[in-house]
Amino acid sequence: MSTTTRQDTGVAPGGEQRARSGAVTHAKPPRSGMLLSLLAWVVGLLFALPVFWMVLTSFHSEADAATNPPSVFAPLSLEGYRTFFGSDPWPALLNSLTASVLSTVLVLVLAFPAAYALSIRPVRKWTDVMFFFLSTKMLPVVAGILPLYLFAQKAHLLDNIWWLILLYTTMNLPIAVWMLRSFLAEVSVEMLEAAEVDGASLSRTLREIVAPVVMPGIASAALICFIFSWNELLLARVLTSTVAATSPVYLTGFVTSQGLFLAKVCAASLVVSLPVLAAGFAAQDKLVQGLSMGAVK
Amino acid sequence: MATATAPASAPPARSKETALNKAGDWARRAPLLPALIFVIAMTQLPFLATIVISFMNWNAYYPKERGFTGFDNYVAVFTDTNARSAVIVTIVLTVSVVLICLVLGLAIALLLDRKFRGRGVVRTLMITPFLIVPVAAALLWKHALYNPEYGLFNGVLKWLFGENAPQPDWISNNPLLAIIVAISWQWTPFMMLILLAGLQSRPLDVVEAARIDGASTWQIFTHMTLPHLRQYIELAGLLGAIYVVQNFDHVFTITSGGLGTANLPYFIYQTFYTAQDYGRASAAGVVVVIGTIIIATAALRTVFSLFREESR
């Protein structure tokens, strides 16, 4: 289905193949290709439309944001952003940043050696260990949240960002182990052995043979761990209150029952989503690798 | 898991060699242990505690009545209409979201697997929903789109049909559907990305050969593309299900679990956090885990087969 159109644009390598596809293209009029491209554009725009709407609404005044039918061309205003930043969101944003960055670092520090022990010099029954790591992802957070809450209460860790950091590390560690293992499995064992024979130090082996293969995996793992930690609501909602509340918790408290709030909610939602949007757009391919835990490269 | 740390069963021939072997085994295990111990401590211990609490009569509002009650909490969970409804909602929510996302994701992946002007831009547009923080996305759907008075949907209806346009209350009329649509909007890009990667790993020369042999587009799709995609579909479905089963953000934000939309995560959250009934919440948690294990055991096998092929 895709091959004809793929070669319509003449990107097929090799003249012979292009000549061959020329004959095939006749089977399918170019107009249907145009229509499919148009459809792709329409679908893409439809999916992004709510986000565009959110951006536009966030730059309208509260009064203009709440009209029906909507006032698309109303004058732009920073009222929403002013209200949002005036409500002191910085502690929450900072908490989110701390929790996401530190838990991601912790995940990588723990996951890399583990992935090494599961691939390059694998322990016995390494598949069982991998299976165990994955099975913890199937264990719903709610199944353990009460003991985690009660323990925090006893240990005075409620409303403490460090407790959240440890839990986010737990949440993301299995994903990172799976990802890094799938990348480490591609490191050439012959080269490692050659390095050992030559008497290269461990740090040099890691730097020159392992790192080039694994760096993309580390980047993907970091991206996905950051996004999942930044997004997390349930644990943060239950385990924090005022001091350690993260941005998602802050967002849930941002809707007031009185007065108009649409513009400021859109502004707040957009600001809170910005780090994820920036990271995700910058590393689209890494996103796929990370989401599939390294199965799709 | 336990087997991984079991001592090596070396033959008792020469004790020196055995000791060396053991030392080597431990050297191999050492890098694994911090992560393994950390995960066990943070996931298995709380779950064990949940099991213990599930057999207790423990409500934080009545601390004096704390004690063991056997299976009372489980009986309560299975006879409680709210709990049963939460089970059904969870199943309906997960199955419908995963199916919608897979079908839409596959269709869009096929559209994006063609070369056309602006393909990169369309791909970026498609990914955008996934990059909105879930709470923010839920707020956006609830207030900016679904709201009956100033939401975009009713606004568009007024644009199209004038002042007398119908102005439905989207969330109250179809609360579960409203949540399903909002979640599907976020997870379709995820499925699409994995399926697109699958499509692009397809051997094109075989498809080309089949086309020259006179196979129709539909035949190529059903006999070549779909079989090739099977593992990717399974992977996307499984991973999507893992995340959607645990959805809390959308239910919490859009309906606060009202109007019959409370799923199991929300039900447990409410039982433990609002009602402070620790025993019953734990019993519900154990039931969720048992249900997940049953479904996941089958699903895990497919994931492993995919990884095995990738790492060949």
Q: Which chain A residues are within 8 Å of B244, Cβ to Cβ? A: none
User: Is position A159 within any domain?
Assistant: yes
Q: Which residues fall within 8 angstroms of residue A16, CB to CB, at 6 or more apart? A: none
Instruction: Identify the pLDDT of residue A6.
Output: 39
Contact with chain B for residue A129, Cβ under 8 A: yes
| Angstroms from B280 CA to nearest CA on chain A | 11
Instruction: Identify the pLDDT of residue A98.
Output: 95
User: Is position B214 within any domain?
Assistant: yes
Phi, psi torsion values for A162, nearest 5 degrees: -65, -35
> Which of A218, A99, A248, A55 lies closest to B138, judged by CA?
A248
Please name the residue that has the structure tokens 């086309």: B211
- Mutation target for A interface from B131, B163, B269: give the one with most A CBs within 10 A: B131
Instruction: Identify the pLDDT of residue A29.
Output: 56
Q: Which chain A residues are within 8 Å of B125, Cβ to Cβ? A: 44-45, 47-48
> Which of B257, B221, B241 lies closest to B295, judged by CA?
B241
User: Is position B9 within any domain?
Assistant: no
- Mutation target for A interface from B40, B91, B103, B140: give the one with most A CBs within 10 A: B140
Give Dmax over CA atoms of chain A in angstroms: 75
Instruction: Identify the pLDDT of residue B164.
Output: 84
User: Is position B242 within any domain?
Assistant: yes
Contact with chain B for residue A42, Cβ under 8 A: no
Co-location of A125 and A45 in the same domain: no
Instruction: Identify the pLDDT of residue B260.
Output: 86
Q: Which residues fall within 8 angstroms of residue A176, CB to CB, at 6 or more apart? A: A107, A108, A111, A115, A221, A225
Instruction: Identify the pLDDT of residue B308.
Output: 59
Of A50, A113, A123, the CB nearest to B140: A50
Asked if B287 and B77 count as a contact pair (C-beta separation under 8 A), the reply is yes
**Positions of chain A with pLDDT under 50:** 1-27
Domain count for chain A: 2
Co-location of A80 and A99 in the same domain: no
User: Is position B29 within any domain?
Assistant: no
Residues 293-312 of B with CB under 8 A from A: 293, 296, 300, 303-304, 306-307, 310-311
Residues A83-96 pLDDT 10s: 889 888 999 999 99
Does A144 sit within 8 Å of B43, measured CB to CB? yes
Instruction: Identify the pLDDT of residue B188.
Output: 95
Instruction: Identify the pLDDT of residue B303.
Output: 62
Q: Which domain holds residue A175?
A: 89-291
User: Is position B40 within any domain?
Assistant: no
Q: Which residues fall within 8 angstroms of residue B253, CB to CB, at 6 or more apart? A: A252, B135, B138, B139, B142
| Angstroms from A131 CA to nearest CA on chain B | 8
Per-residue pLDDT of chain B (312 residues; tens, 9 = 90+): 333 434 444 444 455 566 667 777 787 888 888 999 999 999 889 999 999 999 988 887 887 778 788 888 899 888 888 888 998 999 899 999 999 999 999 999 999 988 888 889 999 999 999 999 999 999 999 999 998 888 899 989 988 888 888 889 999 999 999 999 999 999 999 999 999 988 888 887 888 888 888 888 888 888 888 888 888 888 888 888 888 888 999 999 999 888 889 998 999 999 888 888 899 999 999 988 887 777 777 666 666 666 555 554
Contact with chain A for residue B56, Cβ under 8 A: no
| Angstroms from A75 CA to nearest CA on chain B | 18
User: Is position B45 within any domain?
Assistant: no
Contact with chain B for residue A216, Cβ under 8 A: no
Co-location of A65 and A156 in the same domain: no
Co-location of A157 and A245 in the same domain: yes
Q: Which domain holds residue B108?
A: 74-310
Please name the residue that has the structure tokens 């929510």: B93
Residues 165-184 of A with CB under 8 A from B: 166-167, 169-170, 173-174, 177, 182
Pull the structure tokens for residue B244.
């959607």
- Mutation target for B interface from A68, A129, A130: give the one with most B CBs within 10 A: A68
Instruction: Identify the pLDDT of residue B2.
Output: 37
Residue B124 belongs to a domain with what CATH number?
A: 1.10.3720.10
Instruction: Identify the pLDDT of residue A12.
Output: 39
Gap between the Cα atoms of A118 and A209, Å rounded: 17
User: Is position B153 within any domain?
Assistant: yes
Co-location of A9 and A142 in the same domain: no
Q: Which residues fall within 8 angstroms of residue B260, CB to CB, at 6 or more apart? A: B85, B89, B175, B176
Co-location of A127 and A254 in the same domain: yes
Co-location of A111 and A257 in the same domain: yes
User: Is position A296 within any domain?
Assistant: no
> Which of B236, B214, B300 lies closest to B223, judged by CA?
B214
Co-location of A232 and A276 in the same domain: yes
Instruction: Identify the pLDDT of residue B17.
Output: 60
Torsion of CA A47, A50, A55, A58, to 10 degrees: -170
Q: Which chain B residues are within 8 Å of A139, Cβ to Cβ? A: 43, 47, 289, 292
Co-location of A34 and A67 in the same domain: yes
Contact with chain B for residue A20, Cβ under 8 A: yes
Q: What is the DSSP string of B153-195?
A: HHHHHHHHH-TT-----HHHHSHHHHHHHHHHHHHHHHHHHHH
Helix (H, G, I), strand (E, B) or coil at B298: helix
Does A148 sit within 8 Å of B135, measured CB to CB? no
Nearest CA in chain B to A21: B208
User: Is position A260 within any domain?
Assistant: yes
Q: How many helices (H) and strands (E) does chain A have?
A: 16, 0
Co-location of A55 and A136 in the same domain: no
User: Is position B35 within any domain?
Assistant: no
